[in-house]
Amino acid sequence: MNAPIPAIVLAGSRPGPDPLLTGSGVSTKALLPIAGQAMLVHVVKALRASPEVGAITILAQKSAELAAEPGLAGLADLHFADSGQGISSSLAAALPPGDDPLLVTTADNVLLTPTMIAEFLRGAEDSDVAVAMVERDTLLARYPQSKRTWLKFRGGWWSGANMFRLRGRRVLPLLDFWGRIERDRKKGLKIIAAFGPWLLIGALLRLFTIQQGVARAGLRFGLNAKVVPMSEPEACIDADKPADIELIEAIFAARREAAIGQPL
């Protein structure tokens, strides 16, 4: 059995106003309440409930504010660290030494479950960089109203699921590169084009699958990169818009109802 993997939760604020915070009474998105708890609390509790996850570190510009959240009190092996302004530079500074792997997720990944974590980590084994993604048909079969950003490749359209596995400091060149393009993270073609014209042409002409495309992108940095397809559609539903929060609240209500119906 592998040793528990340390996890980082990205809980900082992006530049500019966040419409989700208007009238909420909270100063940062990670503390926005959903289904009776701050977003961050849902995520950390899911990580802490996973036997495969070790130490958890919360990265944010003002981590002391998050450390004071009552819903996090008493959770074991939980740490807080101040981040910089950029995600990539903050992650680079937090990487473990050598080639030890690290699990990364975000504070708005509120539907995360231990089952999702286990599925992702199984699929991510033997990679230097792994990205969790959900294929469009998987999402729309259950939640046709959900609006996501899609990357279009041969064999399917894909949306990110806010889980990453990074193999220690060997990913530093990739993080440095990502820091220069992360402002375009919602613009699929711009992201693909940044990895080179052949990857862009291949994507536009649907010459390869997303698994092949990500593997080719990783090779640019000498990394074994892979996509881990997630079987649960909820894995790619994060809290970006008011409509997302409405859907997430409904999913939590359905989960509670299902739990009530379970035998003791």
CATH code for the structural domain at 5-11+30-260: 3.90.550.10
The model's pTM: 0.90
What is the C-alpha to C-alpha distance for residues 82 and 85, in angstroms, rounded to an integer? 10
Asked if 152 contacts 114 with a C-beta cutoff of 8 angstroms, the reply is no
CB atoms within 10 A of CB 145: 8
Q: How confident is the prediction along the chain (264 residues), in pLDDT tens digits per residue?
A: 678 999 999 998 776 667 787 777 788 899 999 999 999 999 999 999 999 999 999 999 889 999 999 999 999 999 999 987 678 888 888 888 888 999 999 999 999 999 999 999 999 999 999 999 999 999 999 999 998 988 888 889 999 999 999 998 999 988 888 776 565 555 556 666 656 655 666 666 667 889 988 898 888 889 999 999 999 999 999 998 899 999 999 999 999 988 876 654
- In the numeric block, the tokens 């002409």 are attached to 205
Asked if 19 contacts 67 with a C-beta cutoff of 8 angstroms, the reply is no
What is the C-alpha to C-alpha distance for residues 217 and 177, in angstroms, rounded to an integer? 12
Q: Is 106 exposed, middle or buried (0-12, 13-18, 19+ CB in 10 A)?
A: buried
Strand partners, 9: 58, 105
Structural Rg of the chain based on CA atoms: 18
Instruction: Work out the angle between the directed axes of helices 114-124 and 39-48 (0-180°, nearest 10).
Output: 60
